[in-house]
Amino acid sequence: DSGHNGALAWHLTVEQTAAEYASLGNEYLRTRSADVREVGGRVLLNLLGHAVSGDNLNRPGILIATDIGLGEIAHIDPKVVLGICTGQGGATSHTAILLGNLGIPAVMGLGDRLSTIGEGDMVIVDGDKGTVIAKPSSEMLDDYQRRLEALHAERDQARRESLALAFTRDGKWVEVVANIGSTAEAKAATANGAEGVGLYRTEFLFLARQIPPGEDEQFSAYRDAALALEKRPLIIRTLDIGGDKFLPYLRYEAEANPFLGVRGLRLSLQHRDIFKTQLRAILLTAAEFPVRIMFPMVTTPAEWREAIALLSEARSEVADRGVYLPPRIETGMMVEVPGAALQAEQFAPLVDFFSIGSNDLTQYTLAAERGNAALATLADGLHPAVLRLIQYIVEAAHRHGKWVGICGEMAGDAAAVPLLVGLGIDELSMNAAAIPLIKQLIRTLDYSAMQVLAKASLTLETAGDVRALVMEQVSGE
Ligand code: PEP
Ligand code: MG
């Protein structure tokens, strides 16, 4: 009637329908407007002939996209999608983290430069360096082919040795564990030589559904992950929602700055039923397996105490059912907020361990959002300001006899590991695919030399300077 083409007519109708849902009085129905838009968007892509789905990707290649949502990653098969380039996003965004777990090389935040790549072009994606080469010369292609073969040979060798512990040349053990978000990743962790799990991101269980998973469903998921670890320790992080992750069923006020808003533990403390259900499911798992608990985004000692009080209520509820729980279940906090890092001395007596969430600690320290492509160079955990905070946390923890892990992306970054070892980090938690090579790297390092290197890096000006120093000193070893 209006003379629009099919795609525009569809789009306008979807928007109108979504707006009608959004204006309803019932909270549940109101949040369904997002579902209408999501389905509408998929149909629109089909109408425009741009649909991207697992079915369309039927031969191996490189996927080029403006952006990839967390939900879309579920459709990606690593055998078909050999590499990914996106216009938006950053190296520590949750999308990048999930792709890393799948072992898919990805370079994000390329902006307009993506438009120079055409359908069917030959492309080299170097995920280690963060570079993309479109239409490479045949010499370059040969060179990369050789490097890829050498990398595969090095990986095979590293994988064979990955089950052994990693000691520095002068005998310091550095525990190497995995970050997981599912049971499949727990299996990959074990196969790659993880000595346990340093971070189980439980929020992936809660995403892409209409109601939160109940206690039984969560218990069964945590138990499956623990079983896959064959008695190795498992650190389960409680729900970290907010920031770039939303749940339609949690009442959530719109926020101007979600990363600075009601996120992580703050949100759990506002939704005590959901929080305690999760704590009970974790405790039930801890009754059978070596489980530790950690809370995300802790900012003040008062929040920590509140979380511990709820944990102890959950404990009594589980114990009242006649379940035997180990008397001591190690409980730690993630250090992701600079203010909490600077109060490490106050937190250390309260906690059993610290785990540094360097992705968030970096974005908050440098006021550079982790998913913002324009700030990718600034949001680098090797910035001396971030390293100083890490040093401060480690020193405070060790003074109180507590151990410190790091579970942000820098734990699996070969340029960061020499410094983290030098700063005295006890445990590195990373995506499973990175474990074999990082263990090999640790075996080449000298702890006392890394202490000197770490100290020198603190006095530099930029993350780039620090990277250059590490390259010069460590590759020369
Ligand atoms: C971090 O912030 O470094 C972290 C490990 O938590 P997440 O990436 O899930 O925010
Ligand atoms: Mg975090």
DSSP for 377-409, written as a single string: TTS-TTSHHHHHHHHHHHHHHHHTT-EEEE-SG
Tokens matching residue 16:
């109108």
386 C-alpha to ligand 2 centroid (Å)? 14
**Using CA atoms, how far apart are residues 283 and 153, in angstroms rounded to an integer?**
42
In the annotation, is 407 catalytic? yes
What are residue 334's DSSP bridge partners? 355
pLDDT at residue 358, as a whole number = 98
What is the structure's pLDDT at 90? 81
CA distance 383 to 462: 6
Q: Residue written as tokens 């030959």?
A: 122
Q: What pLDDT does residue 477 have?
A: 41
Predicted confidence at residue 35, as pLDDT, reads 73
DSSP letter (8 states) at residue 95:
H
| Residues 392, 329: Cα–Cα separation, whole Å | 26
Which stretches of the chain drop beneath a pLDDT of 50?
A: 477
Ligand 1: does its nearest atom lie under 6 Å from the Cβ of 201?
yes
461 residue type, one letter: E
* Whole-number Å distance between alpha carbons of 131 and 117: 14
Cα 140 to averaged position of ligand 2 atoms, centre (Å): 38
Atom of ligand 1 at shortest distance to CA of 429? 5
Taking the CA of residue 407 as reference, the ligand 1 atom at the shortest distance is: 5
DSSP secondary structure code for residue 51 in this structure = -
| H/E stretch holding 355 | strand 353-356
| Whether residue 407 has its Cβ less than 6 Å from ligand 1 | yes
Q: How far is the CA of 48 from the centre of ligand 1 (A)?
A: 36
Count CA atoms within 13 Å of residue 53 on its CB side: 8
What is the 199 CA–ligand 1 centroid distance (Å)? 9
Tell me which amino acid residue 23 is. S
| Residue 31 confidence (pLDDT) | 66
What pLDDT, on a 0 to 100 scale, did the predictor assign at position 56? 63
The rounded Å distance from CA 26 to ligand 2 centre is: 32
Nearest atom within ligand 1 for CA of residue 243: 10
pLDDT number for residue 2? 87
Percentage helix, strand, coil for the chain under 3-state DSSP, each rounded to 5: 50, 15, 40
Query: Token digits for 350?
Result: 């309260």
* 271 is known as an active-site residue: no
State which of 197, 203, 359, 430 you would mutate to test the pocket of ligand 1, scoring each by most atoms of that ligand within 8 A of its C-beta. 359
The model's pLDDT over 409-432, given as tens digits with 9 standing for 90+, comes to 999 999 999 999 999 999 999 999
Residues by chain with Cβ below 5 Å of ion ligand 2: 336, 357, 360
Q: Ligand 1: does its nearest atom lie under 6 Å from the Cβ of 357?
A: yes
- CB hemisphere CA count around 399 (13 angstroms): 12
Q: Which atom of ligand 1 is nearest to the CA of 94?
A: 8
| 203 within ligand 1 shell (Cβ under 6 A) | no
pLDDT value at residue 27: 66
